[in-house]
Amino acid sequence: MKRWWSFLVSVALSMGLAACAARPAGVTPPATLILATTTSTQDSGLLDVLIPRFEAQSGYPVKVVAVGSGQALKMGERGDADVLLVHSPEAEEAFMQAGWGKDRVQVMHNDFILLGPPEDAAQVQGADILTALRRIAARGARFVSRGDQSGTHALELRLWESAGLQPQGQAWYLETGQGMGATLMVAAEKRAYTLSDRGTYLAYRAKIGLRPLVEGDPRLQNIYHVITVNPEKWPHVNYVGARAFLEFLLDPETQRRIGTFGVETYGEPLFVPDAITP
């Protein structure tokens, strides 16, 4: 028994010494970078392409927390994230004005689309978005909302308000409290209308029977910004890593990858890069 225990101790010491030898004296591994981002960047699969490349180039391990933009911004306010990738411009501007963010740069965009079942009971196809929402409400056609304080949810609420409607509490209006992918699945099951970013819709298109009915309305633009959390507010945040991630997203090669992401699988790009001239 003693010989076996001595063997285990010897192996453990050897592994520890090897690890120390592999790292130069005085050099510590990079701190984990915490990225709080909207579920659409995760559900679309874009982060599966970008994050491994950033980790390999920078050496920073990345922990991704995919939530609604509102929740991501709250994480930044609490100092629970180092960098944000979100798409809720009004909330982002308030975040920056309050001093919670250090840098904010536009990275990419796509657009929102109103999806619905092929039978289109509310007859919204081809209408502008406000007319479409009024028809859905007038018919009492089922509508599924994320209801999660995300950027998508915030836009949806602004659109209902602009249409002069208050859908909350109506029998035909359902809230999932979940991300875009899960909400699309619920809408498909309920044969309901819903508002989605184009990227997540394309990623889920084969799984759902919904189709785009309203698109191209200027009110439906969907812009993504990268924001570093202000180290003057939260000295513990990994600002150096956050800046490295911001610069990685703006790098021409990363922008090229963003611009081509989805073409091979879906026949069209899911996002349009904004940090470089096309």
* Within a domain: 199: yes
* Within a domain: 5: no
Residues 128 and 173 in one domain: yes
Residues 204 and 247 in one domain: no
Res. 29 pLDDT band, cuts 50 70 90: low
Residues 211 and 123 in one domain: yes
The total number of structural domains that make up the chain:
2
Residue 59 vs residues 12, 35, 217, 245: alpha-carbon distances, Å:
26, 15, 42, 11
Return the ∠ at Cα 257 (arms to 256 and 262), rounded to 5°.
120
* Within a domain: 82: yes
Residues 135 and 198 in one domain: yes
Q: What is the CATH number of the domain that holds 117?
A: 3.40.190.10
Rounded average pLDDT over 156-184: 96
Cα gap 163→141, rounded to integer Å: 16
Q: pLDDT for 104-159, tens place per residue?
A: 999 999 999 999 999 999 999 999 999 999 999 999 999 999 999 888 999 999 99
pTM for the complete prediction?
0.79
Residues in the chain: 278
Tokens linked to 211: 């189709």
Return the ∠ at Cα 213 (arms to 209 and 215), rounded to 5°.
125
Task: List the one residue out of 249, 238, 138 whose CA is nearest residue 193.
Answer: 138
Task: Give the number of other CB atoms < 10 A from CB of residue 111.
Answer: 17
Task: List the one residue out of 195, 183, 124 whose CA is nearest residue 159.
Answer: 195
- Domain coverage including residue 256: 30-110+222-273
Instruction: Evaluate if residue 247 carries a pLDDT over 70.
Output: yes
Q: Which pairing describes strands 221-229 and 101-116: parallel, antiparallel, or unpaired?
A: antiparallel
Q: Exposed (0-12), middle (13-18) or buried (19+): which is 191, by Cβ within 10 Å?
A: middle
**pLDDT given for residue 276 in this prediction:** 64
Instruction: Evaluate if residue 278 carries a pLDDT over 50.
Output: no
Residues 96 and 233 in one domain: yes
Tokens linked to 219: 């009110």
Residue the block writes with tokens 């991704």 = 64
* Percent of the chain whose predicted confidence (pLDDT) is above 70: 88
* Within a domain: 8: no
Task: Give the number of other CB atoms < 10 A from CB of residue 172.
Answer: 15
Residues 122 and 92 in one domain: no
Angle, in degrees to the nearest 10, between helices 89-97 and 69-78: 10
* Within a domain: 102: yes
Task: List the one residue out of 250, 234, 244, 241 whose CA is nearest residue 33.
Answer: 241
* Within a domain: 4: no
* Within a domain: 14: no
Tokens linked to 150: 């995300």
* Within a domain: 2: no
Question: Does residue 193 contact residue 116 with C-beta atoms inside 8 Å?
Answer: yes
